[in-house]
Amino acid sequence: MAVAGRCFSPRCRTAVEDLAPRTAVFGDILLGGTPIDDGMLTVFRAPASYTGEDVVEITCHGGVLVTQRVLEAVFAAGAIPAPAGEFTRRAFLNGKLSLTKAEAVGEILEAKSDAQLRVAASQRRGALSEKIEAAAHGLTALVAAVYAKIDYPDEDLAEISDAEFVERANAVCTDLAHLKDTYRTGSAIFEGINTVICGAPNRGKSSLYNAIAGEEAAIVTEIAGTTRDTLERDLPLGSVLLHLTDTAGIRETADIVEQIGVKRAEEKLQSAELIFCVLDGAKPLEDEDRALFATLQNVSAPKIAIINKADLGCLPLDLPSGLFCDTVSISAARGEGIDRLQAAVEALFLQDAIDTANDAIVTSARQFASLGEAIDRIADAVAVVEGGMGTDLAASDLERAVAALDELDGRTVCEEVVSEIFSKFCVGK
Ligand code: GDP
């Protein structure tokens, strides 16, 4: 408030410090006492603000130079620039946001696809937080019931039977396992699917890459062997994100530079999560295609056969049975059929039952790992009780499960994790 009082003079002549919460006033922005622009100042008072602290927002005209001068004015008045994620970090530390909600703010800011935005908005509203809280609550109630009986044996407290303990713990475990399972969809949307485009030379790999990118990212020529190294980029395809690699055509070659590219392409295949195998639908299969099929037999990722050049009319190709999980015909040069490819990929990686606009979805490896830990600890507790060692011993395993859930949503998270999360924000927000 004091900083704003030094660089903003309301026309209504009320001092900034005396303005009522959530009011917006018109006034002059001052640099060294001289007006440099006029605009609005909005006041939020703790705790009813985004960060939970006293906050003022100054709205000025939008030119480059004028905003630079306004920044100079606020810095001269004593403000300091916010590092990446500072406002959301403060909101989290002041208890205004859970950690998964804070992470969702970062995901909204960084969103590269509508699906990312949709999921992040739902997590920001608390879809994931609510599930975690309900699970933590269910476990805590169970632990409390067990300990209450131990601490107050003379009170008339209902004893939790082994069967009831196991049933209640398993119910929470099932809910968490469902949640953990959503990471398949969450990671396809946010972290991306490692996807490799492969095919013999001249089948249209670079054209496919460009059709997905929506621009000329890869060089397309009629000369076989033009793509001599791998080309990688994160590209949205409908709701999923592809970490897409265009490889050098896999073939026998004497060119030493191309040989290195071909070797890299083979390595990429082994670490891929999805493979697009591009074939020329207008020509019969050649030995190079068959050699690639043989290589792909030893690659575990799901493979989609992409029959390209559909605009030239497709011949029936004799594909090895069982090698491809789907076949899609396209014309990469004309950008036709990419919607069918998108549907095939979404069918493989997105779970139908998940409503991305409303359901709780696990979107990061951090959240996935914490959930795994909680599930394992609940399984330990159930094993203890089923092994006849008693609910009081098992309760300490459940406490560990609660600790993992607390860490997931930030109730007990360590400073390094907080720093890591907020360092991913690209702007002060
Ligand atoms: P790559 O060597 O597998 O990367 O193949 P390119 O993408 O460089 O394409 C090889 C040649 O096929 C180029 O002349 C392209 O213009 C042509 N081509 C690629 N896709 C299509 C298509 O869908 N239809 C037709 N008619 N030609 C295509």
C-alpha 238 to ligand 1 mean position (Å)? 23
C-alpha 224 to ligand 1 mean position (Å)? 10
Q: Give yes or no for residue 217 CB within 6 A of ligand 1.
A: no
Average pLDDT value for residue range 272-300: 93
Sort 8 into a burial class: Cβ within 10 Å, 0-12 / 13-18 / 19+: buried
Query: 3-class DSSP state for residue 295?
Result: helix
Determine phi and psi for 43, rounding to 5 degrees: -110, 130
Average pLDDT value for residue range 389-400: 92
Q: Which amino acid is residue 119, in one-letter code?
A: V
Q: Give yes or no for residue 282 CB within 6 A of ligand 1.
A: no
Report whether pLDDT(346) > 70.
yes
Please state, for a pLDDT cut of 70, what percent of the chain lies above it: 88
Please give the C-alpha separations between residue 423 and each of 109, 370, 420, in angstroms, as whole numbers: 13, 20, 5
**More confident call, 214 vs 396:** 396
Q: Give yes or no for residue 399 CB within 6 A of ligand 1.
A: no
C-alpha 251 to ligand 1 mean position (Å)? 17
C-alpha 385 to ligand 1 mean position (Å)? 64
What percent helix, strand, coil does the chain show, rounded to 5? 50, 15, 35
> Smallest Cα–Cα separation from 209: which of 237, 246, 242?
246
Question: 216-225, 237-246, 254-263: which range is least confident on average?
Answer: 216-225
Q: What is the pLDDT of residue 4?
A: 95
Calpha distance 135→177 (Å, rounded): 11
Please choose from 220, 222, 229, 258 the residue to mutate so as to test ligand 1's pocket, defined by most ligand atoms within 8 A of CB: 220
Report the mean per-residue pLDDT for the chain. 88
Q: What is the pLDDT of residue 426?
A: 67
Question: 16-30, 66-80, 81-95: which range is least confident on average?
Answer: 81-95
Residue showing tokens 């004091």 = 2
Angle between helices 162-181 and 183-190 (to 10 degrees): 20
Examine residue 35 and say whether the peptide bond preceding it is cis (omega within 30 degrees of 0).
no
Report whether pLDDT(258) > 60.
no
**More confident call, 134 vs 426:** 134
Please write the tens of the pLDDT for every residue from 300-316.
Answer: 999 999 999 999 987 78
Determine phi and psi for 168, rounding to 5 degrees: -70, -40
Report whether pLDDT(180) > 60.
yes
C-alpha 135 to ligand 1 mean position (Å)? 53
Judge: domain 2-81, CATH 3.30.1360.120: yes
Type and span of the H or E element at 27: strand 24-31
Calpha distance 108→121 (Å, rounded): 7
**More confident call, 135 vs 411:** 135
Q: Can you give the pTM of this predicted structure?
A: 0.79
Q: What is the pLDDT of residue 389?
A: 92
Q: Where does 158-286 have alpha helices with state H?
A: 162-181, 183-190, 205-213, 256-271
Q: Give yes or no for residue 220 CB within 6 A of ligand 1.
A: yes
Nearest atom of ligand 1 to the alpha carbon of 226: 2
Average pLDDT value for residue range 329-353: 94
Please state, for a pLDDT cut of 90, what percent of the chain lies above it: 65
**More confident call, 402 vs 260:** 402
Please give the C-alpha separations between residue 265 and each of 31, 97, 262, 301, in angstroms, as whole numbers: 59, 44, 5, 14
pLDDT band of residue 422 (cuts 50, 70, 90) is confident
Q: Which residues contact 211 (CB under 8 A, 6 or more apart)?
A: 330, 332, 333, 335, 338
Calpha distance 235→30 (Å, rounded): 45
pLDDT band of residue 269 (cuts 50, 70, 90) is confident
- Where are the chain's structural domains? 2-81, 127-182+358-422, 189-349
Please write the tens of the pLDDT for every residue from 92-133.
Answer: 999 898 889 998 998 898 888 899 999 999 999 999 999 999
Q: What is the pLDDT of residue 384?
A: 95
Please choose from 197, 198, 202, 280 the residue to mutate so as to test ligand 1's pocket, defined by most ligand atoms within 8 A of CB: 202
Residue nearest to atom 14 of ligand 1 (CA): 222
Q: CATH for 189-349? A: 3.40.50.300
pLDDT band of residue 228 (cuts 50, 70, 90) is very low
Q: What is the pLDDT of residue 252?
A: 47
Question: How many residues belong to the chain?
Answer: 429
Residue showing tokens 């493989």 = 348
CB 245 within 8 A of CB 232: yes
Q: What is the pLDDT of residue 215?
A: 63
Three-class DSSP labels, 75-106:
HHCCCCCCCCCHHHHHHHHCCCCCHHHHHHHH
pLDDT band of residue 255 (cuts 50, 70, 90) is low
Residue nearest to atom 8 of ligand 1 (CA): 220
Calpha distance 209→82 (Å, rounded): 39
Q: CATH for 127-182+358-422? A: 1.20.120.430
Name the token pair of 20: 């009522």
Q: Give yes or no for residue 52 CB within 6 A of ligand 1.
A: no
Q: Give yes or no for residue 332 CB within 6 A of ligand 1.
A: yes
Q: Give yes or no for residue 204 CB within 6 A of ligand 1.
A: yes
Nearest atom of ligand 1 to the alpha carbon of 201: 2
Determine phi and psi for 123, rounding to 5 degrees: -70, -30
Determine phi and psi for 59, rounding to 5 degrees: -110, 120
Report whether pLDDT(251) > 60.
no
Q: Give yes or no for residue 203 CB within 6 A of ligand 1.
A: yes
Q: Give yes or no for residue 247 CB within 6 A of ligand 1.
A: no
Report whether pLDDT(408) > 60.
yes
Report whether pLDDT(226) > 70.
no
Q: Which residues contact 159 (CB under 8 A, 6 or more apart)?
A: 149
Q: Give yes or no for residue 206 CB within 6 A of ligand 1.
A: yes
Torsion over CA: 62, 67, 70, 75 (sign) = positive
C-alpha 235 to ligand 1 mean position (Å)? 20
Query: 3-class DSSP state for residue 279?
Result: strand
